[in-house]
């Protein structure tokens, strides 16, 4: 809340006088009604002025529990995706000392087990394959090859979280400002390219931080003694998790279930039973789900440090999901305590009376908060599934739509009662993308592996097939197309939903296109322009990095899974023509996997 000033007084006075004039000149009212209305307005006006002038300006809770983030850069201002520049000719010379100045994007996938069980291998391979098809940088598999015999489930969980934290802290490839996406290994399907993920993430932060500025206001901070004070936003959003319709079981009386903000979706988005239907399927997504999270490396490192501290503090009684739920809840309690301390109580009373207040429920909450301990982590959740869709309790919220089929989209809009101002149209950010089946200008001429094959690389005509003509999983209630889906609901649906994904009929050809794009002129040009192909400096397509910087190919993990991935009877991945595994190179042509073909080895 902003503090009182003469300008506030003038604005309030002007508004009050305008209302008084409107009441006085409204002729159908009786003199008695006018007198009552004028008296009420005057009463509230003086209450407002009195409470505004009596507020304490010092940010007590903001300083009592450290809230200023140690990493000052604002995520929504980072230029991860640079503007497209004009093409250059294939005959032009590209410099060899390219230096990427914009932040990288990293995809981290904590490994559940090694070797994978058959059901686990299927899930991991679908997660990795869909990420590759959509053009994400090579994922990093954390913990692969480090399974300890006899480990308990709890020990594996602690090891998984520790590896995420340590990689964020110690990896030489990750900088504080880099964007990091962490996803579950077994049950995530990617649907949209990485530039959509990053741009939507930044747009959501930009919108939500404007709301948080209005809600919590600013604080004066003096960086060094004697320096002029600067105004900083008290609380901001820096990290986004997926949103769930249900809270972590067993925490019904914890702030993580009670005190988190309400969903941004309309209160009647599922009809009159919204938020009150007994089984939770008609709840608006509101609670944190850890299946997918995105943020800058410095922000995520703070969070995972706190997760491990909470787990250790509770002597093996907490898991990471429970710890994250409680961390989110305590963040919101401290924010609410600070908001109430500086709030205008008369305005609060009126807003509560009208049911439009933005207070968080902390009634009956008893917490032991440690002075000097950080509870502020910039955590938020993706209520509208613009980034992450969680399947649990939500299987009936989505439909696969082709956006050139107006009849079907209008029918779905009526069935799900989507307001006309949120019509089911293909979003501008997707419509502006290159077509899903666009091929490199030089794909057929390249001699790099996998070499062009008319059968294996056949894709629909890119001139007649666009994003409008492929079936996209759409959340009809929020009128959004999620970037990825976390299938944490009924496991039996995973096979069915995989075959519904827009890329499934052409998965092998699209994956071959992705591997081929790792080298050649297009990749070099993209690197020069700071584009997507250079989001991960290590290079390599068609495989996975491990947290100990080893490269493993997709076939190393997914051999025997081709039927579940492609269902095309074209043979094992990367050996379709009976050939052995091909060597893998990075953007600079350096070999990172396999052996050079004999005919290419230079003899002294």
Q: Where are the domains of the chain?
A: 6-55
The residues with which 241 forms a beta bridge, in sequence order, are 293, 381
| Average pLDDT taken over every residue of the chain | 82
Q: Coil, helix or strand for 397?
A: helix
Contacts of 542 (CB under 8 A, 6+ apart): 132, 511, 514, 515, 518, 553, 554, 574, 584
Nearest alpha carbon to residue 409 among 472, 463, 466: 472
Q: Is the confidence at residue 94, as pLDDT, over 90?
A: no
pLDDT score recorded for residue 31: 66
Structure tokens at 349: 């009373």
pLDDT band at 600 (very low <50, low <70, confident <90, very high): very low
Give the separation between CA 436 and CA 433, rounded to whole angstroms. Answer: 8
Please give the DSSP secondary-structure letter assigned to residue 75.
G
pLDDT digits (tens, 9 = 90+) for 388-427: 999 999 999 999 999 999 888 888 888 887 776 677 899 9
Structure tokens at 448: 């790099």
pLDDT score recorded for residue 44: 56
Q: Is the confidence at residue 40, as pLDDT, over 90?
A: no
Q: Strands 179-183 and 287-296, how do they pair? A: antiparallel
Task: Please tell me the pTM assigned to this model.
Answer: 0.84
Average pLDDT estimate for 477-494: 95
Nearest alpha carbon to residue 217 among 357, 343, 318, 358: 343
DSSP letter string, 447-477: -SSSPP-TTTT----TTT--GGGS-EEEETT
pLDDT score recorded for residue 120: 87
Structure tokens at 437: 């089946």
pLDDT score recorded for residue 447: 53
Contact 494, 460 (CB under 8 A): no
Q: Which residue has the higher pLDDT, 278 or 285?
A: 285
Give the separation between CA 125 and CA 186, rounded to whole angstroms. Answer: 8
Give the separation between CA 463 and CA 570, rounded to whole angstroms. Answer: 26
Give the separation between CA 190 and CA 262, rounded to whole angstroms. Answer: 27
Q: Is the confidence at residue 384, as pLDDT, over 50?
A: yes
Average pLDDT estimate for 354-374: 85
Q: Is the confidence at residue 449, as pLDDT, over 80?
A: no
pLDDT score recorded for residue 538: 72
Contacts of 125 (CB under 8 A, 6+ apart): 554, 557, 558, 561, 564, 565
pLDDT score recorded for residue 3: 39
Average pLDDT estimate for 31-54: 57
């Amino acid at each position: 809340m902003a503090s009182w000033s003469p300008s506030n007084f003038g604005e309030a006075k002007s508004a009050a006088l305008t209302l008084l004039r409107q009441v006085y000149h409204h002729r159908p009212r009786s003199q008695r009604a006018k007198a009552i209305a004028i008296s009420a307005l005057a009463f509230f006006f003086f209450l407002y002025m009195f409470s505004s002038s009596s507020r304490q300006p010092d940010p007590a809770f903001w300083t009592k529990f450290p809230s200023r983030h140690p990493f000052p850069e604002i995520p929504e201002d980072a230029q991860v995706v640079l503007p497209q520049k004009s093409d250059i000719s294939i005959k032009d010379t590209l410099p060899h000392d390219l230096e990427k100045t914009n932040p990288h994007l990293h995809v981290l996938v904590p490994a559940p087990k090694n070797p994978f069980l058959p059901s686990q291998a299927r899930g991991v391979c679908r997660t990795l394959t869909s990420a590759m098809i959509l053009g994400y940088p090579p994922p990093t598999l954390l913990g692969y090859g480090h399974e300890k015999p006899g480990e308990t489930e709890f020990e594996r969980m602690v090891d998984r979280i520790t590896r995420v934290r340590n990689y964020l802290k110690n990896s030489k490839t990750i900088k504080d400002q880099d964007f990091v996406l962490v996803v579950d290994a077994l049950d995530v399907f990617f649907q949209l390219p990485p530039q959509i993920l990053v741009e939507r993430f930044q747009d959501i932060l930009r919108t939500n931080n404007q709301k948080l500025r209005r809600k919590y206001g600013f604080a004066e901070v003096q960086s060094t003694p004697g320096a002029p004070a600067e105004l900083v936003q008290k609380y901001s959003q820096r990290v986004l998790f997926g949103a769930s319709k249900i809270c972590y079981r067993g925490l019904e009386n914890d702030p993580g279930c009670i005190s988190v903000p309400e969903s941004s979706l309309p209160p009647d988005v599922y009809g009159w039973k919204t938020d009150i239907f007994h089984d939770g399927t008609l709840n608006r997504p509101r609670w944190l789900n850890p299946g997918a999270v995105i943020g800058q490396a410095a922000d995520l490192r703070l969070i995972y440090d706190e997760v491990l501290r909470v787990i250790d503090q509770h002597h093996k009684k907490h898991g990471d999901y429970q710890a994250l739920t409680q961390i989110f809840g305590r963040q919101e309690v401290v924010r609410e305590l600070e908001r109430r301390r500086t709030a205008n109580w008369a305005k609060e009373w009126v807003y509560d009376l009208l049911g439009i207040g933005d207070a968080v429920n902390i009634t009956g909450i008893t917490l032991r908060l440690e002075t000097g301990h950080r509870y502020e982590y910039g955590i938020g959740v993706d209520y509208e599934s613009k980034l992450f869709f969680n399947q649990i309790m939500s299987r009936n919220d989505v439909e696969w739509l082709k956006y050139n089929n107006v009849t079907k989209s209008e029918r779905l809009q009526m069935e799900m009662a989507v307001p006309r101002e949120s019509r089911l149209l293909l979003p501008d950010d997707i419509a502006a993308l290159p077509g899903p089946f666009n091929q490199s200008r030089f794909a057929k001429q390249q001699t790099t592996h996998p070499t062009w094959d008319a059968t294996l690389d056949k894709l629909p005509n890119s001139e007649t097939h666009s994003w409008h003509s492929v079936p996209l999983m759409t959340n009809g209630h929020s009128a959004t197309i999620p970037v990825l889906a976390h299938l944490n609901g009924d496991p039996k649906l995973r096979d069915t939903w995989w075959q519904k994904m827009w890329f499934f009929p052409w998965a092998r050809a699209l994956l071959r296109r992705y591997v081929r794009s790792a080298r050649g002129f297009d990749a070099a040009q993209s690197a020069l322009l700071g584009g997507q192909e250079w989001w991960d400096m290590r290079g390599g397509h068609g495989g996975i990095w491990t947290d100990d910087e080893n490269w493993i190919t997709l076939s190393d993990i997914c051999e025997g899974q081709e039927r579940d991935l492609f269902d095309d009877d074209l043979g094992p991945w990367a050996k379709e023509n009976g050939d052995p595994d091909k060597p893998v190179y990075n953007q600079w042509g350096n070999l990172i996997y396999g052996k050079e073909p004999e005919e290419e080895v230079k003899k002294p």
